[in-house]
Amino acid sequence: MDEPPLLDVQDVHVSFGGVHALRGVSFQALKGEILAIIGPNGAGKTTLINAICGHYHPQRGRILFKGKDITRLRPHRIAALGIARTFQNLALFRGMSVLDNIMLGRHVKMRSGVFACALYWGPAQMEEVRHREVVERIIDFLEIEHIRKVPAGALAYGLQKRVELGRALALEPELLLLDEPMAGMNLDEKEDMARFILDVQEEMGIGIILIEHDMGVVMDISDRVIVLDLGEKICEGKPEEVANDPRAIKAYLGEAVAQKGR
């Protein structure tokens, strides 16, 4: 018997006034796979991520995580179930250290509360030690031990992106949503981030949904690709299948390849 999907998006519609951002989008994401979602600007990619995370509630359709309906849940409830995300624009606390930024990713797992743990009040002290052990393992995994005490705002852009990935991993998610994790990076930084994403998949077994405009990265690291255009899913398949699909080429890949060649 096939394993049930980790995430099941069923006929999701999201509208803002008269603007239809998503029109009947359906797909499944499997445990431990990297599923890329691509498409031109305005295709609905980030809206879809926000709907999965509970920031938007669809007018129609359902979203199931491990068989549980999460369509109407609030973001913190969805995070507690095991869905973490990074943002298209950095959302770090620039004045806080790398360690403290990643530690904030543990907040939904802290029974004593993040501020009590930080201040070492009573039984919160032992809990803080356990959470810090998780964070230190993530810091080692991402190879950022040398900057663990540095304020996030003082770091190069690529390292800030890595810290944001670390904060999402601190939630110990089963599904990780990455919204353009390589935007604004140079080639070396992209190669590092691609390596860490693959390591997250292979070593931690975390399912990943990736929104990314760099088609070289998408084709190299994705197991499957979904193409959105004007809020609709127009095709889905393995990277090589999508790369040769006339619908994908017309809507996006032709444009992406043309821009790459400039």
Q: Has residue 4 got a pLDDT over 50?
A: yes
Q: Which H or E run includes 254?
A: helix 254-260
Give the pLDDT score at 63.
98
The mean pLDDT of the chain is: 89
CA 259 to chain centre: 25
Of 114 and 174, the structure prediction assigns the larger pLDDT to 174
What's the whole-model pTM score? 0.88
CA distance 175 to 55: 16
Work out the pLDDT band at 124, boundaries 50, 70, 90.
low
Q: Which residue is listed with tokens 């030690």?
A: 129
pLDDT tens column, 174-229 = 999 999 999 999 999 999 999 999 999 999 999 999 999 999 999 999 999 999 99
Give the pLDDT score at 29.
97
Work out the pLDDT band at 119, boundaries 50, 70, 90.
low
Supply the CATH classification number for the domain 1-82+173-262.
3.40.50.300
- Side chain identity, residue 200: V
- Domain coordinates in residue numbering, the chain: 1-82+173-262, 91-172
The backbone torsions φ and ψ at residue 238, rounded to the nearest 5 degrees and listed phi first, read: -70, 155
Q: Which of 16, 86, 13, 17 is nearest to 53 (CA)?
A: 86
Q: Has residue 1 got a pLDDT over 50?
A: no
